[in-house]
Structure 1
Amino acid sequence: MAVALTFDADWAPEPVLEYTVRLVESYGIPATFYATNDSPALHWAAKQGHEVGLHPFFGQPDASDRDTLHHLLDLYPDAAGVRNHRYRMDSTSIYLFAKAGLSYDCNIMAHDSPEVPPYVHHTGLVRFPIHFGDGASLQYGLRTPYDLLADADRQDPVVLLFHPIHIYLNTQSMAHYACAKKDQHDMAALNRHVASGKGPGVREWFHEACAAAQRGAVVMRDAADAITNGQSKAEALPSDEAGAYTAPQ
């Protein structure tokens, strides 16, 4: 089973991002980090071979969606993929991604539908579903990585979504995070909210997923690599429409 390990940066403090990148590095596995802003930690992650994609926040009153996307592309010109903050997008967003030269997006929420496969949009963009999100699992009691990684016969890649702030805190509930959120840009105060010891926290979910990779039960890939080298190659994926696509000028 191929597993894409992904993270939404969400303007996390630099020490939190650096902690998360180093934690991933300690396992020697690839990952994808979707960036919301310029970050030395994420540029360093890219130099270590990790994928850095884009995590734009569309629908802002002071910037068009195109400007928001291209601001991030200027910061991370090698980005191949995108996942929008809060999955916020409209019917024109896919065309915006395609015209910008991106290869894939990861905005389909399938937390309660693990059977949903990736597919090729008629623009040529590969659309990847998300099968686990730490926030959704905490808030709504949805499936955890344990449930998904137990399916040894699965052919399509599994996409896991984590947030560095939840990894750092080992967030154990949304109430826990709500208490910590107000202090997330004051590291001394934030550290008082870190959950110590083992427990049903997000960091433990992350460790279990990485341990499965170390046991050989799953193969970890970054999201872009899952498109070209995972068990579901883009050319073998279902398409929503036949025929070539030309981006509008």
Structure 2
Amino acid sequence: MRRGTDHARVTNPTRSSQDAPWGPLAAQRRFAVTADQDWAPEWATEALLQWAWEWDVPLHVFQTNPSPSLDGAAGSGTVTRGWHPNFFPGSTHGEDESAVVRHMAGFLPGVRTVRSHGFRESYLAWRELAGAGIRFDSQFPSAFAGHLVPAVHATGIIRLPVWFEDDLWLRLFPHATDVSRLRPALGAPGLKILNVHPVHLALNCPSMDYYDRRRAEIYRPDSDPDALVHPGPGVRDVLEAILLAVRADGEKWRSFEDLCDESADLLSDSADLAVLP
């Protein structure tokens, strides 16, 4: 198994769950790994699945398009899946919100989670998603913040914010692999949902510039992945340092779907977290 190098223990402040409106989700820490497919070539998707297997972390993939690798992994119970619709103008998913949702329901039916491409959203889109059976999103990209808790959208969709977004790290801290700046928030109570992209992980991108300069070649059918991989430290090392820090502290990585269920149970037991019809 490939290992990161920065895995010092993190602190774990305690707080009574009775003092936290979201109970243990606010008073304790919850760790999960998700991924945005983003039309990744199959070799990148396979690298992501192999990485998750090697590190023994449950993986929830928000999917943009059909993928034999993801079909196989979902069929074997290796991953769970949600929608990753593109609501931007000119989207190949559809010309408006209702068309995009119909498209997603057509190729990946029966899921209940969503994260939109580029985090683009509107109330109209979320109303369509709720009508199609979506119950949870992971939509808000935080500033690597502690004390993150769920929230309830006006459509009734329960929102689980993102703690670490790999391409935001690559934009904000290019070529950085030291995770010490993340430790205070990592040790604080709340949701710690990581989001990765297959291409960034497979190539171990050190910056968005590295990815942008290779974008055309990455998506060519005859591309050579080995020639594209960054030879030095990159975002995969950052992710692995976080995984090691969490495990060194005695915590475990949970299924994103389990976090959804826990959030729904807490909401159903509360009278003041949301007022819905």
Shared fold, TM over 0.5: yes
Corresponding residue SS for 1:161: strand
Counterpart check, 1:242 vs 2:265: no
Corresponding residue SS for 1:110: coil
- Aligned letter for 1:41? S
Equivalent of 2:253 in 220, 227, 234: 220
Equivalent of 1:60 in 69, 76, 89: 89
- Aligned letter for 2:88? G
Counterpart check, 1:20 vs 2:48: yes
- Aligned letter for 2:115? R
Max radius of gyration: which structure? 2
Equivalent of 1:193 in 207, 228, 237: 228
- Aligned letter for 1:191? D
Give the alignment of 1:96-175 within 5 angstroms.
96-141=128-173, 147-148=181-182, 151=185, 154-175=188-209
Mind listing any 5+ residue stretches in structure 1 that lack a counterpart? 245-249
CA distance in structure 2 between the partners assigned to 1:31 and 1:177 by the alignment: 23
Counterpart check, 1:33 vs 2:68: no
Q: Offset of 1:241 from its aligned partner?
A: 4.2
- Aligned letter for 1:124? G
Contact kept in structure 2, 1:118 and 1:237, CA below 8 Å: no
Contact kept in structure 2, 1:8 and 1:35, CA below 8 Å: yes
CA distance in structure 2 between the partners assigned to 1:225 and 1:30 by the alignment: 10
- Aligned letter for 1:218? E
TM-score, with structure 1 as normaliser:
0.84
**Higher mean C-alpha displacement, 220-229 vs 151-160:** 151-160
Corresponding residue SS for 1:227: helix
Q: Deviations over 1:39-61 (max 9, x none)?
A: 11111221232211110001334
**Percent of residue pairs bearing the same amino acid type:** 25
Contact kept in structure 2, 1:80 and 1:224, CA below 8 Å: no
Q: Which residue of 1 aligns with 2:107?
A: 75
Contact kept in structure 2, 1:4 and 1:223, CA below 8 Å: yes
Closer, same or farther: CA 146–183 of 1 in aligned 2, 3 Å:
farther
CA distance in structure 1 between the partners assigned to 2:179 and 2:95 by the alignment: 36
Q: Which residue of 1 aligns with 2:36?
A: 8
Counterpart check, 1:85 vs 2:117: yes
Q: Deviations over 1:123-153 (max 9, x none)?
A: 3311111121111111123998665465565
CA RMSD of aligned residues (A): 2.8
- Aligned letter for 1:207? E
Q: Deviations over 1:155-177 (max 9, x none)?
A: 32211111110001100012211
Closer, same or farther: CA 149–171 of 1 in aligned 2, 3 Å:
same
CA distance in structure 1 between the partners assigned to 2:268 and 2:181 by the alignment: 29
- Aligned letter for 1:23? W
CA distance in structure 2 between the partners assigned to 1:234 and 1:145 by the alignment: 33
CA distance in structure 1 between the partners assigned to 2:242 and 2:98 by the alignment: 35
Aligned length: 242
CA distance in structure 1 between the partners assigned to 2:226 and 2:241 by the alignment: 23
Contact kept in structure 1, 2:146 and 2:185, CA below 8 Å: no
CA distance in structure 1 between the partners assigned to 2:140 and 2:73 by the alignment: 25
Corresponding residue SS for 1:109: coil
**Higher mean C-alpha displacement, 53-62 vs 168-177:** 53-62
Mind listing any 5+ residue stretches in structure 2 that lack a counterpart? 1-28
Corresponding residue SS for 2:139: strand
Contact kept in structure 1, 2:30 and 2:190, CA below 8 Å: yes
CA distance in structure 2 between the partners assigned to 1:175 and 1:236 by the alignment: 47
Contact kept in structure 2, 1:59 and 1:65, CA below 8 Å: no
